[in-house]
Amino acid sequence: MSDHSLHLEGAPFLKAENAGLYEPNGSKSMAVCAERSTKHNQELLAQIPYYQDWRTAANGIKDYAIGNLDKLLVEFERNITARGAVVHWAEDAEEANRIVLKIAQENNVKTVVKAKSMVSEEMELNHTFAAAGIRAVETDLGEYLVQLANQRPTHIVTPALHLSAEDVGKLLSEKLNEPYTAEHQALTDIARRHLREEFINADMGMSGCNFGIADTGSFVVVENEGNAGLSTATPPIHVALMGIEKVIPSIRYLPQFLNLLARSGTGQKLTTYTHLFHGATPGRKLHIVILDNGRTKVLADPKARMGLFCIRCGACLNVCPVYRRVGGWAYGWVYPGPIGSIITPHLVGLDKAGKLPFASSLCGACNEVCPVKIDIPHQLVHLRHRAVNEPSPMNLMSERFIWRAWSWMFQGPKRYGLAMWAVKLGVRLAPFLPWHPDKLGAWTRGRALPQVPARGSFRKWWRQEGKDLKPQEQPNNKG
């Protein structure tokens, strides 16, 4: 760990929209973990000669699926309903909450055990349960810890990435009256003992959905801890939450997606458990809530469609140099990191999340690791374009004025010369200014300004010498 050093100076960029959330306190361990995840999956991916072809194919399959959502979702519903499941459609989080609560109340549910689901985070379902007096227990270890700590996940796959073993030890001793330990196995044993009771006593179990399969009417939940298996099989009712974008056309494509998901998500060849649900088992109830919650708004923007291809592996978070430093909470909503920056503005609106697309140096690391090849950096610039033209915190008259002026100055060599003369004058004078305003101050708070060369511009050199350079007759030292 000592050879990793990370600087945590970065501030949350959604400060105003971020009220009530905390700064990650364990960012250093978080960044180290994120970096390690990236290394692991790069090692695994290097073993697959056809990896790039898989990505391309997965992108194609998702492209087809998102383009035919209307047909595939109905096919999925028809097939799984035929085997006793009940499918519910929810337009937004509120409607989904109402549906889930109604199922719980009709069945007199007191306690719900929940496997990991990002859709549930989107819905803030736990608040709905709490308000109705129903106990909801997160059973994914990371989610369990985050719930105990009264926090939000910092990562979509590894929700408690920000907590070190010491943090976890303190948390468990404080909340569960257990003796303090920072030893991994002992910590897991404590959580396991407490959760086992919850599984046995729960009246209802919930899960997310990694893939909905149209042609067989099945859905898939992957996990590593066994908690999703227990959450869905122990209580008499299973309610699964599924975003509309989760459907794939056929079970034939599943192995490829499982491969890509595990390798990209956690650097495993396959997750420890892969559950396929084909319908309600005798004597039990299965409900599936299919949620839109803004996803169809992405469909309305043809350039943004790829955002819906996401299979929630988290690889773009792990590799993102910005995410590694600011952590998940800084993004202000459920989906952090590069994928959050391209889907959150659609789901909650640019007026609220307009700053997110700017939280990137556009380095493109996210696109390189994305198992379904979402062109995240290109989506980011597209959303920036929208953010400065539509109602959003980035649509500022002052900034538009600056770029208008810049544009005019750069549309002719004479004006350009004048603009550059002014810039160089500014750079020369900067050391004598008592303080540096705005963008200049943003640069000089940690960086020296470039030095203005005494010799003048390249243009000047070209006029004096460059234009007379003679191409040498024979290319020497050819490669």
CB of residue 411 to another protein, shortest distance in Å: 5
Nearer to another protein, 19 or 469 (CB): 469
Q: Which among 263, 331, 227, 277 is positioned nearest to 84, based on CA atoms?
A: 277
Contact status, residue 250 vs residue 212, Cβ threshold 8 Å: no
The count of C-alpha atoms lying within 13 angstroms of the C-alpha of 199, restricted to the half-sphere facing its C-beta, is 18
Q: Which among 373, 157, 348, 125 is positioned nearest to 265, based on CA atoms?
A: 157
CB of residue 21 to another protein, shortest distance in Å: 17
Residue with tokens 């396959």: 270
CB of residue 44 to another protein, shortest distance in Å: 13
Nearer to another protein, 26 or 357 (CB): 357
Nearer to another protein, 1 or 108 (CB): 1
Taking each helix axis as running N to C, give the angle between helix 165-176 and helix 141-148, from 0 to 180 degrees, rounded to the nearest 10.
Answer: 60
Taking each helix axis as running N to C, give the angle between helix 165-176 and helix 184-201, from 0 to 180 degrees, rounded to the nearest 10.
Answer: 40
Quick one: CA dihedral 102, 105, 109, 111, positive or negative? Answer: positive
Strand order in the sheet with 204-207: 86-90, 285-291, 237-243, 204-207, 111-114, 135-138
Q: Within its chain, how far is the Cα of 87 from the centroid?
A: 27
Contact status, residue 89 vs residue 211, Cβ threshold 8 Å: no
CB of residue 1 to another protein, shortest distance in Å: 15
Nearer to another protein, 98 or 459 (CB): 459
Nearer to another protein, 291 or 388 (CB): 388
CB of residue 247 to another protein, shortest distance in Å: 27
Nearer to another protein, 243 or 337 (CB): 337
CB of residue 5 to another protein, shortest distance in Å: 6
Q: Within its chain, how far is the Cα of 466 from the centroid?
A: 50
Nearer to another protein, 282 or 479 (CB): 479
Residue 102, helix vs strand vs coil: helix
Contact status, residue 328 vs residue 374, Cβ threshold 8 Å: no
Nearer to another protein, 222 or 326 (CB): 326
Residue with tokens 């959502």: 69
DSSP 8-state class, residue 7: -
Paired residues of 240 in beta bridges: 207, 288
CB of residue 418 to another protein, shortest distance in Å: 11
Q: How many CB atoms lie within 10 A of CB 132?
A: 13
| Residues whose CB falls within 8 Å of the CB of residue 243, separated by 6 or more in sequence, listed in order | 119, 209, 290, 291, 293, 295
Nearer to another protein, 118 or 363 (CB): 363
CB of residue 305 to another protein, shortest distance in Å: 15
The count of C-alpha atoms lying within 13 angstroms of the C-alpha of 440, restricted to the half-sphere facing its C-beta, is 13
Nearer to another protein, 249 or 265 (CB): 265
